[in-house]
Amino acid sequence: MRSRTIPDGHGLPEGRYGTRGGSGRGRRATRIALGIAGALVGLAVAYGGYRVLGDAPIEAQRTGFSDVDPTSMRIMFEVRRDDPARPAVCIVRVLVVDGTEGGRREVFIPPGERSTPMTAVIRSAAQPVTAEVFGCSYQVPPYLSNDLRPTG
């Protein structure tokens, strides 16, 4: 198949293919619309990043740990939360010498101050070497609630 070329000095037929480059107003309006759309997408991405990476509503930091016996360790930690009127739960755990988890425990954090010091003892399947706070949440399981009473 042969390609058709237009010899130098000859343009395309007038009106058949539109004007070259379009009108100045159309191009400017398109640029403005694309700029606004880009800014809106950028704002949406920034807001999403802030929601994901911004300050956590509840967080905890280990302040210390100590051996209780060969298979238990005490952890001391401080819980900081944005809503101290809400109960929370933190998961704490101990690690053994090879770095695996030896045991874990859920700790109920009652409503109280914005910053609450806590202590918990965690039992381990092997001799623990360190303790850490795995994470905290306002989603307290029903079995940790103070409202439930033992039956039987």
Strands (E) across 88-127 are located at 88-96, 101-109, 115-123
- The pTM of the whole model exceeds 0.85: no
More confident residue, 32 or 22: 32
Of 23, 122, 9, which is closest to residue 68 (Cα–Cα)? 122
Asked if residue 1 belongs to a domain, the reply is no
User: 133: which 2 tokens?
Assistant: 């706070």
pLDDT tens for 25-58 read: 778 888 888 888 888 898 888 877 766 665 568 9
Q: By residue range, what is the domain housing residue 68? A: 58-144
**3 falls within a domain:** no
Residue 104: pLDDT band with limits 50, 70, 90:
very high
Mean per-residue pLDDT over the chain, rounded = 83
Q: Are residues 68 and 97 in the same domain?
A: yes
Q: How many domains in the chain?
A: 2
Q: What is the pLDDT of residue 74?
A: 97
DSSP bridge pairs for 147: none
Same domain, 47 and 66: no
Residues 43 and 111 both lie in one domain: no
In a domain, 152, yes or no: no
- Domain with 80 in it: what CATH number? 2.60.40
Same domain, 67 and 130: yes
Q: Are 75 and 122 in contact (CB under 8 A)?
A: yes
Are 62 and 111 in the same domain? yes
